[in-house]
């Protein structure tokens, strides 16, 4: 159950769109459905609250995401001084369902940047990956299951950690035919691939985002055929 919920969180944020509720709370919805994760940012004292029965590892991922956004705020048109004074509340329903694990790190970061900058996330992209304090993307487990879920949700592109490319041989052939896997080394690449960048947004950026290194689609490795007489 925990593993499935982490997977849904990863896909939900990537497949969703950001909007503001009547009370001004930014939220993400999946395929026009109900709110899946909401972010509340109010001009107060800079307090951070994370709720939704999250385990310690996932809370740490949220904290890392917030730190990264604060450091790189100006690159995405976010006022760093205002951000310091904002109360951030991240909630992942359902509250009674325990959730944990580091693989939602890239998704939480993307969600925060999108919410605070107003830049929407592409609706055909799923993503997964652990993050570090310096914005590096680390490998995750369960790539086969996560890729299958992305395929079933109608995604076109999946952002995966670069170190997970060798694991693509485990992914079903039908899934590999219909999905493009982009290997990510750092969060700059993730945000460059996941965020839409209309011309009206770029004009607000006093400090343009660091140019991400070009990313080529990962070619799933082909398992070596056993040599004659070899034991399989």
Point out the residues that are catalytic: 103, 146
Between CA 104 and CA 112 the distance in angstroms is 12
Between CA 69 and CA 65 the distance in angstroms is 6
CB atoms within 10 A of CB 180: 14
Between CA 213 and CA 136 the distance in angstroms is 13
C-alpha closest to that of 103 among 200, 210, 13, 225? 13
Q: Which residue has the tokens 């509720």?
A: 21
Structure tokens at 193: 């691939």
Does residue 146 contact residue 128 with C-beta atoms inside 8 Å?
Answer: yes
Vertex 229, ends 224 and 232: CA angle to 5°? 50
Q: How far is CA 58 from CA 50, 55, 92, 149, 192, in A?
A: 10, 6, 11, 20, 23
Sequence-separated (6 or more) residues with CB below 8 Å from residue 158: 125, 126, 127, 128, 146, 147, 150, 179, 180, 181, 182
């Amino acid at each position: 159950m925990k593993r499935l919920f982490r997977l849904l969180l990863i896909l939900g944020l990537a497949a969703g769109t950001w909007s503001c509720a009547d009370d001004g709370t930014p939220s993400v919805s999946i395929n026009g459905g109900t709110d899946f994760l909401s972010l509340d940012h109010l001009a107060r004292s800079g307090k951070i609250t994370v709720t939704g029965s999250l385990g310690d590892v996932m809370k740490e991922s949220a904290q890392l995401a917030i730190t990264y956004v604060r450091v790189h705020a100006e690159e995405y048109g976010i006022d760093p001084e205002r951000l310091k004074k904002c109360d951030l509340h991240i909630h992942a329903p359902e509250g009674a369902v325990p959730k944990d694990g580091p693989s939602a790190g890239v998704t939480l970061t993307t969600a925060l940047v999108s919410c605070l900058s107003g830049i929407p996330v592409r609706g055909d992209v799923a993503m997964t990956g652990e993050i570090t304090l310096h914005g590096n993307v680390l490998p995750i487990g369960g790539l086969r299951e996560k890729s299958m879920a992305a395929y079933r949700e109608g995604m076109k592109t999946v952002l995966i950690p670069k170190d997970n490319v060798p694991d693509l041989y485990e992914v079903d052939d039908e899934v590999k035919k219909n999905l493009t896997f982009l290997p990510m080394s750092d969060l700059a690449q993730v945000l460059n691939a996941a965020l839409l960048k209309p011309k009206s947004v770029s004009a607000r950026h006093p400090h343009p985002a660091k140019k991400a290194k070009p990313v080529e689609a990962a070619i799933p490795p082909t398992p070596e055929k056993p040599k004659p007489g070899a034991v399989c």
